[in-house]
Structure 1
């Protein structure tokens, strides 16, 4: 999701912090939340199509950033990634990796000068799409709901703490608006969400640790997206979501968190109550 402390620390006239984008962010964020949680709750093909379309938009915006001179390529890569993300979830297990490799190979060929950024970014987007589909279908709606809430909680807590408290920057060279106050607030929010779910669903308090780790992964994903934008001189990845920028600005944290959780669930089988 979006940089937890984007716009945090901005100062307006008279040295006061500005909150001018809050109303627009709340409205567009509410609409997006209703759509996301609606698709998540319905599940089945609705959720798969939602994630598939989201994947296509993410890759389209990425290519729009890295190759603005070729909008046709951006659209084609968006469609290809959407199709491969959907096909991978329906194919037999041995076909998943070859299917997800197709967009990576095309990215390697079409963006030779920007492979070091583009290929890992596309890989993470596709893995996160497969993860969101798999967590919902195989582990159950509760765990996908937990994942969405902890990423959103990281984002919201970071935004308000960064705005209200400000303070030292976390990584000014890559993301000049990200503050330590917002970063730590995001960890605390994720820990609280993990504790609530650990209490409701008997999975053990290790879920609190996993929640904080996923929050950190989300924040690192935010920083990586900021680095990509900074490398091409862009403030936002797009303009599709008023107050938030582009789809990549909104869902960048979800990419990192989902990949981490998918890896943990696949390798360790934790949480034990999943599915």
Structure 2
């Protein structure tokens, strides 16, 4: 009986995660408009969640800003990067101006959301399915490894002031899981052992994305970004690591270290 609270959220987490993976893989594999629609909705919902966390009383504004982010991603789909990036930045700045408090958090958060969605789009359309699945696998495997290692092993906290539940055991388990993903994808991506190093770096960036969202939630004193996903909280709670991982992949791609983005 003493173990029940520790694992009480496992069943809804597994069910919701399995459904999300099924939908995501289907959209990624299909590509085209189905994939685009998923990204547009993702950007809009995550922006809506962020806005309602930062200004709970302004529900109409949160909806408007979520729609703005979705619209921006629609436009970005048809525009070259030289135009898309300033447009996303402008949307984040305009939205931040609507907040009397926490404008900096909104600016940073929405800029990260839009940039991550853009990088995911580029990775799928230019790099191909395998490269995007590599990033997703890193996030999923490291999350699973961190969840079970943290619950079973416990130990010192990774960053107690920001995320009280995260432990060093879970963090390191995530790195190990990411390294295994690198081994698995080294062949299909024709990158060899170098992908193992990249995978761990991307994993760490994803963990920092998770920590970043935890910091925002602690700042505004909320538990979850929303209650849309049973066992996971909100969409932003589930995709915060993906945001960090995607931005890291984009940076590594600019440096010429990710063949999928070169």
Q: TM-score, normalised by structure 2?
A: 0.95
The alignment covers a number of residue pairs equal to 262
Structure 1: runs of 5+ lacking an equivalent: 1-12
Structure 2: runs of 5+ lacking an equivalent: none
Correspondence list, 1:1-275, <5 A: 14=2, 18-268=6-256, 270-272=257-259
Deviations 1:73-115 (A, max 9, x none): 1000000001101211211333212321232122221114212
Whole-Å Cα distance in 2 between the matches of residues 227 and 69 of structure 1? 21
Whole-Å Cα distance in 1 between the matches of residues 22 and 53 of structure 2? 28
1:113 is paired with a residue whose SS is coil
Q: RCO (CA 8 Å, sep 6+): is it higher in 1 or 2?
A: 1
CA RMSD of aligned residues (A): 1.6
Does the 8 Å CA contact 1:217/1:256 hold for their aligned counterparts? Answer: yes
Whole-Å Cα distance in 1 between the matches of residues 205 and 96 of structure 2? 25
1:242 is paired with a residue whose SS is coil
Q: TM-score, normalised by structure 1?
A: 0.91
2:23 is paired with a residue whose SS is helix
Call closer, same or farther: CA 1:196–1:274 in 2, change over 3 Å.
Answer: farther
Measured after TM superposition, the shift of residue 188 of structure 1 is: 0.3
